[in-house]
Amino acid sequence: MVSWSASYTVPGTASNELVLRFVIPEVVVGGVTEEEGRAWWRSRLRADVLVNGHPAWSTEALRLRADYRVRHPTDPTETIPRPLVVLQQFGEPLAFPTNDEDLPPTSGGPSNDTGIDNADYPAERKVVYLSLGRFAAGAQIELSLVMHGIALTVPTSPGGSDHRCRERDVPDTWFCSRASLAVNGGVNDSPRLYLVP
């Protein structure tokens, strides 16, 4: 979890529109599935801007690995495993290089779905200008940005280890799946508040 908060008193004698400039840094919601130590994983990041304790802007990105099975085309008693890695976004979307909610390539859409090779690609840094409305001179404004996330890995079978890793044929050779989450902020990511007459 990361956050910032600030108190602001509107100056002058007239009402003004307040515009908040804030930055959502480069973020990663991803993971890796090791085929020799398979696990389901989920990474989630949510960011909320609050004005006087009320939500004013939000975004959420969730990427997960949840494999499924389909019927075998020639033997109805058998099933075939299919991998599923997907990115879902809510609120104001972040600029990830993948988009799993548009038309898939098999239906004529762009080739930008999440796959094993690009699940850890970060979303670009996002600069947001948010109008907070008009406030009278002397009004007290409480602002905050809260970013919180979780990276979770669960074994795919009841016999999986607590560490989501599996020791294979060679002793001390481990294969591990993992979820990953990162927020890569910078020195120029401080919020700014502008007065508009």
Task: Select from 61, 67, 32, 39 the least CA-distant residue to 153.
Answer: 39
Which residue range forms the structural domain that includes residue 84?
Answer: 2-196
Contact 89, 61 (CB under 8 A): yes
Least confident range from 10-14, 53-57, 65-69, 128-132: namely 65-69
More reliable by pLDDT, 83 or 73: 73
Confidence of residue 85 (pLDDT cuts 50, 70, 90): confident
pLDDT band per the 50, 70, 90 thresholds, residue 162:
low
Query: What average pLDDT is seen over the chain?
Result: 87
Please state, in angstroms and rounded to a whole number, the distance separating the CA atoms of residues 183 and 147: 9
β-sheet bridge partners, residue 50: 55, 144
Q: What is the pTM of this model?
A: 0.81
pLDDT score of 6 more than 60: yes
pLDDT band, very low/low/confident/very high, at 83 (cuts 50, 70, 90): confident
Model confidence pLDDT, tens digit, residues 19-40: 999 999 999 999 987 777 777 8
Question: Domain total for the chain?
Answer: 1
Q: What does the alpha-carbon distance between residue 112 and residue 60 come to, in Å, rounded to a whole number?
A: 19
pLDDT value for 16: 93
What does the alpha-carbon distance between residue 180 and residue 153 come to, in Å, rounded to a whole number?
9
pLDDT category, 164, cuts 50, 70, 90? low
